[in-house]
Amino acid sequence: MTEAPTDDPGQDAPDVRRPERHAVGLPAVANSIRFVASQAGVRRGLPLLRRINQVGGFDCPGCAWPEPEHRHPAEFCENGAKAVAEEATRLRVGPDFFAEHPVGELAGRSGYWLGQQGRITHPMYLAEGADHYVPVEWDEAFALIADRLAALDDPNEAAFYTSGRTGNEAAFLYQLFARRFGTNNLPDCSNMCHESSGAALNETIGIGKGSVRLDDLWAADLVIVAGQNPGTNHPRMLTALEKAKRAGTRIVTVNPLPEAGMRRFKNPQALRGLAGRGTELTDLFLQIRVGGDLALFSALNRMLLRSDAVDREFVEQYTHGFDALAEHHAAGDDEEVLADAVRRTGLSREEIERLLDMVLASERTVVCWAMGLTQHKHAVPTIREIVNLLLLRGDIGKPGAGVCPVRGHSNVQGDRTMGIWEQMPDRFLDALGAEFDFAPPRDHGYDTVDTIRAMRDGRVKVFFAMGGNFVAATPDTEATEAAMRRCDLTVHVSTKLNRSHVVTGTRALILPALGRTDIDVQSSGEQFVTVEDSMGMVHASSGTVPPLSDLMRSEVAIVAGLARKVFGEDGVPWEDFAADYDRIRERIERVVPGFDGYNVRAREPGGFALPHAPRDERAFPTATGKANFTVNPVTSPEAAEGRLLLQTLRSHDQFNTTIYGLNDRYRGIRNGRRVVLVNPEDAAELGLADGAYCDLVSEWGGTERRAAHFKVVHYPTVRGCAAAYYPETNVLVPLDSVAETSNTPTSKSIVVRFEPDSGA
C-alpha cells in the first residue's frame, strides 16, 4: 500500500444516489459561481469568468475544446470555472507553510488536501537529508540545477517532462533547452493520453491530429462519440453537439457507462436549457464492453464491404492498401465473425446492425473519441480501424466528416507542435539545428513509461517537470514513487502543491510559475502566450489577475534563466526571449511550418488555423503518399472467471490529479472517491453487496497490485466491467502493461479481483 492515508473528513464514507439523466442546466451554473467565489473571492474571481475564452482574455486552463467563431459572453463551463478558480485562488503556500509542515508529514496528506493549500509563491529547496523545504533565491535554484546537470555522465541521464498546460512559447524554449543540453528525453502527459491517436493517425493519414473543425460537427449527418465523457471533461462540446442535433445530425454514443452528459443536455447559454427539459443528444446508445471497440468497428467495416457502400472513387484516388483490407474481410465466415463481435462487445446483433444502417444513411460522418479508446493494449489498431471506416466512406477531407480525437489538456496539442516529443522527426530537428546553429541529438528519447524505467534503473538521475503531477498521473504508483526517490535531483515548475513535490529525489526544487490567469509582465511590457486547441486553431491568451507574489515567474522566464545558467554565453538570446515573447514567436515561425506571420496573426481576434493536409487538400503525407488502410486482427481484453475489467476514469470534481471536491454529481456519488462501480448482476455473482467495502487486486503477468478500502456501488455499467477513479487506482496499473506502438499505460482495462477490505 503506497497511497497516502486519507485525511479528508467524509472521504471514507461516500454516499450514493441515483445517477442523473441530464447534464448542466442551472445546478452547473450555480456550482460554478459558488466554487469561484469560495476559492478566488468575489472581487478577484467573478470578473475572471467574463474573460475565459474571450478575445483579449485568457484561454481556459481546462480542456482543449475549441471556441466557436461567435463567442457567447459565457464561453466556459462549470469545470472550466473550477479550473480557473483553482488557479486564481487567494490562498498561498509560502515559506511559512513549508516551515510548519515537514515533507514527511506532507507525504501523508491526500492529493486533495495538498491542492487545497493554495498557490506556491516562492522557489523552495529541499536539501539532501533535510526535513523541510526552505526558500531559495532564483539564481541559486538555477545554479543548483546547473550543478547537478553538470555532474551527469551523459545528457541522457536527465529527463524533461511536460504537462499540457504550457503555452507554445515556453514549450518551444523548453525543448530547445533540452536538445541543446543534448537529450531528446522529453516525456509528456500525451504519452499517457492521445499518443495512441497520434500513432494511428500518423501512420494512416500522415498527421497525428484531428481533421475536423467545429463547423464540421454542425454539417455532419452522423457523429459517433466513442470512449469519451464530454459532459464532465469537455462540457462545451455538448453545446456544439446540441447545435449539430438541432441542424439534423444524428448522434451515436459508444460507452460502457450511460454518461448523463450524452443523454439530455440543458444548455446553460440558452433559456430553453435552463428552464426546459433540455435536448436529448444520443439517438443510439451502444453500451459496449470495455475494449470492445475494435471488434465493433471491424464488424462494421466487414458489413460495409459486403453491402458495397464503399466510396470507390475516393478509395482509388487517395488510398493505399484497400485490397489487403478487402481480403482480410473476405476470409472467414460472416456469421461467426458477427457472433464473435457480439461476444466481445456485449452488444446485440440488432444494435450493431442499427449502427450500420446509420452509417450507410450518412454522407458525412465524424468520429470523436478520447481516453476510452486510447488507453488499451490494442488502442492503436482500434483507432486505425476507425480510420478504415472513414476511408471506406470517403469521409476524410470533406466538410462534415473526419477524425476528431478530443484532446485533454488545454495546450497539449500545441506543445507537440512546438517539439515536445521524444521522437520529433528529422525535418523538425534539421530546422531547429539550422536556426540555432547546433546539432540536435537524433536518437529517440524516453517517453513517460521509459523515463520511469530509467529512473528505476538509475539511468535517469535528474528529473525536471514543466507542470504536471508525475508520480500521481503515471501508472504503478508504488514503482514510480520508488523510481522518483532514486533520482539525484527532482525539479517541479508548478502552480499548486501536489504529490510529486513530496515524493522526491535526494534533493528537490519547487519553482513557482505564473498560470494562464495571471498577468505576465516582462521588461518590454505585458506579454501574452499562444495555445493550440484540439482542432488546430492557434490563438492568444493573456492573464487578467495580478500574481499573488513577485517571486512567481513565467515558464518562459524560468526556462530562459535556467538556460543562461547552464550554458553561459551560448549565442542564444535567452534574455531577449524572456523580455519579449514576440522574439520567440519569430523563431518558431522559422522552425515550425504553418506559423507564417505568427506575431500578426496571433493578434487577430480568434487567431488562425494551422494547415492540415488531409483536411485542406486531401493530401496524405504518409510513407506511401496516400491514406493507408490497415489490417487489424480483432482482439479484446479478457478477464478470467471471478474477475472484472476495471477502467479508471475522471469524476465530475477533478482535473486529472487535481481534485476540486469529493462529488461526482452526474453519477450520483457524493463525499468520497474510493468507490468502485459494479454492475448489480456481476456484484451478485461475486458476492459484493451494495455499500460493502473491499480491496481491489489487479492481476497482470503473474504479478499483483492492491488498492485497499473501496466502497462497492451497484451501478448500471456494462456486464463484466467495473469503473473507479484515477489517480486513486493508478497503483493497480502495471508499468509494463502498455499499448502496442504508443506505449500508453492501459488505464482503461485492468483485470481485477475483489478481496475483503483490509482497512484504510
Q: Give the interface with Mo ion as residue ranges (CB under 5 A).
A: 193, 408
Q: How far is CA 467 from each of CA 396, 498, 513, rounded to the nearest angstrom?
A: 35, 10, 9
Residue 424: Cβ within 10 Å count: 21
Q: How far is the CB of 614 from ligand MGD (least distance, A)?
A: 23
Paired residues of 700 in beta bridges: 703
Whichever of 303 and 367 has its CB closer to ligand MGD, that residue is 367
Which among ligand MGD, Mo ion, none contacts residue 298 (Cβ within 5 to 8 A by kind)?
none
Edge-first strand order for the sheet with 489-494 is 134-135, 124-126, 507-512, 489-494, 462-466, 158-162
Residue 228 contact, options ligand MGD, Mo ion, none, Cβ 5-8 Å cut-off depending on partner type: ligand MGD
State the nearest-atom distance from the C-beta of 408 to Mo ion, in Å: 3
Partner from Mo ion, ligand MGD, none binding residue 288, C-beta < 5-8 Å depending on class: ligand MGD
Shortest gap between Cβ of 724 and Mo ion (angstroms)?
A: 18
Using DSSP's 3-state secondary structure scheme, residue 723 falls into strand
Output the CA–CA distances (angstroms, integers) from residue 65 to 88, 233, 513, 536, 543, in the order listed.
21, 9, 24, 10, 19
CB of 728: closest distance to Mo ion in angstroms? 17
Binding at 513: pick from Mo ion, ligand MGD, none (beta carbon under 5-8 Å per type)? ligand MGD
229 contact choice in ligand MGD, Mo ion, none (CB below 5 to 8 Å, kind-dependent): ligand MGD
Residue 370 binding target from ligand MGD, Mo ion, none, CB below 5 to 8 Å by type: ligand MGD
φ, ψ of residue 217 in degrees (nearest 5):
-65, -40
518: which DSSP letter?
A: B
What DSSP letter does each residue of 610-625 carry, written as one string? PP-HHHHH----STTS
State the nearest-atom distance from the C-beta of 371 to Mo ion, in Å: 7
Indicate the residue among 408 and 637 with the shorter CB distance to Mo ion: 408
Residues with Cβ < 8 Å from 689, sequence gap 6 or more? 683, 712
Q: What's the rounded Cα separation, in Å, for the pair 628 and 384? A: 9
Task: Give me the least distance between CB of 167 and Mo ion, in Å please.
Answer: 17
Residues 6+ apart with CB under 8 A from 676: 646, 694, 696, 710, 711, 712, 713, 722, 723, 724
Q: Which does 498 bind (CB under 5 to 8 A by kind): ligand MGD, Mo ion, none?
A: ligand MGD
Please identify which residue in the block is written with the cell numbers 504550457. Answer: 166
Partner from Mo ion, ligand MGD, none contacting 466, C-beta within 5 to 8 A by type: ligand MGD
- Compare residues 232 and 679 and give the one whose CB is closer to ligand MGD: 232
Please give the distance of CA 728 from its chain centroid, rounded to a whole number. 17
C-beta separation of 209 from 612 below 8 A: yes
657 binds, among Mo ion, ligand MGD, none (CB under 5 to 8 A by kind): ligand MGD
CB 441 within 8 A of CB 430: no
Using DSSP's 3-state secondary structure scheme, residue 586 falls into: helix
Closest to Mo ion by CB, 193 or 645: 193
Find which of Mo ion, ligand MGD, none residue 748 binds, CB within 5 to 8 Å per kind.
ligand MGD
Kindly tell me which of 341 and 619 has the beta carbon lying closer to ligand MGD: 341
**Helix, strand, or coil (residue 158):** strand
User: Based on CB atoms, which residue is closest to ligand MGD, 299 or 429?
Assistant: 299
DSSP states along 645-670: EEEEE--TTEETTEE--S-BGGGTEE
Binding site for ligand MGD (CB under 6 A): 62-63, 79, 163, 165, 189, 192-193, 226-229, 232-234, 254-257, 259, 288, 290-291, 293, 370-372, 375, 408-409, 466-470, 473, 493-496, 498, 513, 515-516, 555, 647-650, 654-658, 726, 729-730, 733, 747-748
User: Could you give the 3-state DSSP secondary structure of residue 758?
Assistant: coil
Closer to ligand MGD by Cβ: residue 256 or 321: 256
CA distances from 496 to 89, 156, 439 (A): 10, 28, 36
CB nearer to ligand MGD: give 337 or 406: 406
- Beta carbons of 238 and 251 less than 8 angstroms apart: no
CB of 197 to Mo ion, least distance (A): 11
Helix (H, G, I), strand (E, B) or coil at 138: helix
Q: Which is nearer to Mo ion, 382 or 542 (CB)?
A: 382
Tell me the closest approach of the beta carbon of residue 723 to ligand MGD, in angstroms.
6
**Rounded CA Rg of the chain:** 25
Nearest-approach distance from CB 63 to Mo ion, in angstroms: 9
Residue number, 156 or 651, with CB nearest to ligand MGD? 651
- The candidate with the shortest Cα–Cα distance to 614, out of 446, 402, 431, 342, is 402
Shortest distance, position 550 Cβ to ligand MGD, whole Å: 18
Parallel/antiparallel/unpaired status of strands 22-24 and 264-266: parallel
From the list Mo ion, ligand MGD, none, pick the one residue 380 interacts with, judged by a Cβ distance below 5 to 8 Å according to partner type: none
Comparing CB distances to ligand MGD, the nearer of 158 and 627 is 158
Shortest Å distance, C-beta 654 to ligand MGD: 5
